[in-house]
């Protein structure tokens, strides 16, 4: 596809993400200085047109990575997707479907499946790391030798904290690749099952190099999927971590048989705990009123697509954690490891997180679910 064809295709399918007032419905998403940055030397380096003739690399073959591959391919971009498993790679290439993680969604022919990471990243100026949080460091280490262009943008979509280091995902990537390249985190209420089928949705992106965000917003936005720039990288990342813990709690209450009133109370309690933890880590309170906080929290705590709510619900029905995780056949509920890491960090630093403490006791100390739910309700 020529540059002119690609530009025409982009203009046909994708409006630029609309401006939002910082105090608007999405909660301080957009940096009001975004348009003025283009005059700076840094701003001139990151122009969407400089990325159009290059493929976009997707590292990982889970549901959301595949969804982004489909979204970008439908816009006319060349997409290279790295799939480690040989069998899954063959199925995706020959059947044009990710039957394990995104069944029913056809993979466009301009998604090129490969088991070779160097071939996947070759010529790419945007690389998306779409693996579970505890595999992000390994993915970044594998990616490092392939990233030679300082203007290449690395986009992380994992929602987690690294065990032992307690680093956020962008910090893990920076720890491996350094600060030469822009590192972007994309986070919000983004269930792959819906985005992959062009259902309307929105998300936010934040970065250590905010001057690159207009490129990411334009390239990832579609008529049905809006991407907004955000100035609070810490809050965007931690909102995506802690909301999963709250989803475990609401799932437990749903599994036991409690109703909407209980779920709403738990969500409200959870939001206050998310803000408390986020502010202790340097996040802004207003971030949690937007898509990366409340928006993601509502979707995760109420949707049948939510893996974390599913785990909690099955716990509430009497299944063991090991049985539940085994039945998920490799799909990851990020709230389980996040509960451990957030709880440990909060204890070390004196952050009061009673909801997280109760979920930790149920998951890792063998506390009966009914007792955990009873003590959880006492916090309301």
* R_g of the chain computed on alpha carbons: 20
SS3 102: strand
Residues 68, 58 contacting (CB under 8 angstroms)? yes
Verify whether residue 226 is a known catalytic residue: no
Distances 361 to 174, 240, 346, 367 between C-alpha atoms, Å: 33, 22, 14, 5
Sorted by sequence, the CB contacts under 8 Å of residue 13 that are 6+ apart come out as 74, 75, 76, 222, 223
Enter the tokens of residue 373.
Answer: 């739910």
Give 223's Cβ-side CA count (13 Å radius): 9
Residues 30, 230 contacting (CB under 8 angstroms)? yes
Catalytic residue (choose from 75, 243, 331, 361): 243
Q: Pick from 91, 34, 4, 355: which is nearest to 218 by CA?
A: 34
Residue with tokens 């301009």: 110
Q: Pick from 233, 181, 225: which is nearest to 206 by CA?
A: 233
Sign of torsion over alpha carbons 183, 188, 191, 197: negative
CA angle, corner 298, sides to 279 and 17, nearest 5?
A: 80
Give every strand in the sheet of 183-187, ordered side by side: 111-114, 79-82, 56-59, 126-129, 153-156, 183-187, 201-207, 225-229
- DSSP letters, 284-322, are -GGGGGSIIIIIHHHHHHH-TT-HHHHHHHHHHTT--HH
| Helices assigned H by DSSP within 186-232 | 192-195, 213-220
Would you please indicate which residues are annotated as catalytic (active-site) residues?
A: 243
């Amino acid at each position: 596809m020529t540059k002119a064809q690609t530009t025409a295709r982009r203009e046909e399918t994708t409006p630029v993400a609309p401006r939002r007032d910082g105090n608007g419905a999405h909660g301080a998403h957009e940096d009001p200085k975004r348009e003025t940055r283009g005059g700076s030397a840094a701003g001139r380096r990151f122009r969407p047109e400089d990325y159009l003739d290059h493929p976009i690399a997707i590292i990982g073959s889970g549901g959301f990575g595949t969804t982004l591959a489909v979204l970008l391919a439908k816009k006319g971009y060349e997409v290279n997707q790295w799939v480690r498993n040989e069998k899954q790679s063959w199925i995706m290439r020959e059947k044009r479907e990710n039957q394990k993680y995104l069944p029913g969604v056809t993979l466009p022919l301009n998604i090129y499946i490969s088991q070779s990471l160097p071939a996947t990243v070759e010529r790419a100026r945007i690389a998306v790391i779409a693996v579970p949080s505890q595999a992000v460091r390994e993915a970044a280490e594998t990616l490092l030798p392939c990233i030679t262009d300082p203007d290449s943008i690395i986009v992380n979509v994992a929602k987690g904290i690294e065990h032992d280091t307690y680093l956020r995902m962008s910090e893990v990537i920076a720890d491996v690749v350094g600060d030469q390249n822009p590192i972007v985190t994309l986070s919000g209420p983004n269930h792959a099952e819906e985005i992959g089928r062009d259902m309307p949705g929105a998300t936010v992106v934040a970065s250590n190099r905010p001057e690159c965000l207009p490129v990411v917003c334009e390239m990832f936005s579609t008529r049905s999927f809006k991407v907004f720039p955000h100035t609070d990288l810490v809050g965007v990342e931690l909102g995506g971590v802690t909301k999963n813990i709250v989803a475990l709690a609401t799932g437990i209450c749903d599994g036991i048989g409690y109703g909407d009133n209980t779920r709403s109370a738990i969500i409200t309690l959870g939001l206050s705990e998310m803000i408390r933890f986020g502010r202790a880590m340097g996040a802004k309170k207003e971030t949690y009123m937007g898509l990366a906080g409340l928006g993601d929290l509502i979707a995760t705590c109420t949707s049948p697509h939510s893996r974390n709510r599913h785990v909690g619900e099955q716990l509430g029905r009497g299944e063991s954690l090991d049985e539940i995780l085994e039945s998920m056949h490799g799909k990851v509920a990020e709230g389980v490891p996040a509960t451990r890491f957030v709880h440990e960090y909060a204890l070390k630093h004196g952050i009061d997180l009673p909801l997280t403490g109760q979920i930790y006791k149920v998951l890792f100390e063998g506390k009966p679910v009914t007792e955990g739910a009873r003590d959880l309700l006492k916090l309301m």
